[in-house]
Amino acid sequence: AQKITQTQPGMFVQEKEAVTLDCTYDTSDQSYGLFWYKQPSSGEMIFLIYQGSYDEQNATEGRYSLNFQKARKSANLVISASQLGDSAMYFCAMREGGKGGFKTIFGAGTRLFVKA
Amino acid sequence: GAVVSQHPSRVICKSGTSVKIECRSLDFQATTMFWYRQFPKKSLMLMATSNEGSKATYEQGVEKDKFLINHASLTLSTLTVTSAHPEDSSFYICSADTVNYGYTFGSGTRLTVV
């Protein structure tokens, strides 16, 4: 079963507009962490934002904010004032504990295209 | 900030040879390093978790004898692809858990086996 679901393979957004990238997750753990990463064409993975399962407030980092809805098990990424440099692949990820220790599982990703 | 240096960034090797990929944590100690594989336009697939001074934990379906992982020190983890074949061609990337809550990734290694 999919643990991290990103239903948008590709998204287009106009420069300077805001965009929301969807992510839903599935876990039975009470304690877990949710991450968003950006992967440009160069391949590097860039950490954007983190939300802990016990955090009551939504995480924000500059133009990035995470819309955390625990009951719905969703952790959508909102990018405000999109820039051309935001065009990249975006991955939602979840860290949860297990027998072998903590593991991070990645969603399939959403490719974001920012139009001038 | 926490930096993980990964080398080489690109490597082309002949079928049947072995390739070693290194990941070094430059300004912090990484007791645990994660190794991922990424196929084109696909997500990251966790291959194994390496722990300093102990054997790596491999994910189901990952061949331990083909993908040798060594974590000899708190700042160095290596992945060796042994007897590489064209189907091993992929993007390999490591990550380490930093003191803060984020994972830091290496820059990745694009392996092409010809």
Per-residue pLDDT for A8 more than 90?
yes
Asked whether the predicted pLDDT for residue A99 surpasses 60, the reply is: no
Contacts of A52 in chain B (CB under 8 A): 101
pLDDT, position B7: 96
- Residue B68: pLDDT over 90: yes
Neighbouring CB atoms inside 10 A of A19's CB total 21
Q: Which residues in chain B touch residue A105, judged by CB atoms under 8 angstroms apart?
A: 46
Res A29: pLDDT: 87
**pLDDT single digits (tens) A61-87:** 999 999 999 999 999 999 999 999 999
Tens of pLDDT, residue by residue over B12-26, are 999 999 999 999 998
**Tokens 């949860």 map to which residue?**
A96
The pLDDT-based confidence of A23 (bands split at 50, 70, 90) is very high
Q: Is the predicted pLDDT of residue A100 greater than 70, yes or no?
A: no
Check A101 against B108: CB less than 8 A apart: no
Q: Which residue has the tokens 């991070």?
A: A104
Amino acid at B91: F
Query: Considering only alpha carbons, which residue of chain B is nearest residue A89?
Result: B41
**Out of B43, B57, B91, whose CB is closest to A106?**
B43
List all residues 6 or more positions away from A45 whose beta carbon is below 8 Å from its beta carbon. Answer: A37, A38, A39, A91, B44, B93, B95, B105, B108
Please tell me which residue, B102 or B36, carries the higher pLDDT value: B36
Q: Label residue B113 by pLDDT band (50, 70, 90).
A: very high
Q: How far is A13 from chain B (nearest CA, A)?
A: 20
A43–B97: do the CB atoms touch at under 8 Å? no
Q: Which residues have a Cβ under 8 Å from the Cβ of A93 and sit 6 or more positions away?
A: A4, A34, A35, A36, A37, A104, A105, A106, A107
- Which of B43, B46, B55, B69 is best to mutate for the A interface (most A CBs within 10 A)? B43
Minimal C-alpha gap between B44 and chain A (Å): 6
Per the CB < 8 Å rule, is B95 touching A33? Answer: no
> How would DSSP label each residue in A69-113?
ETTTTEEEEEE-S--GGG-EEEEEEEEE--TTS-EEEE---EEEE
Q: What is the mean pLDDT of residues A41-65?
A: 92
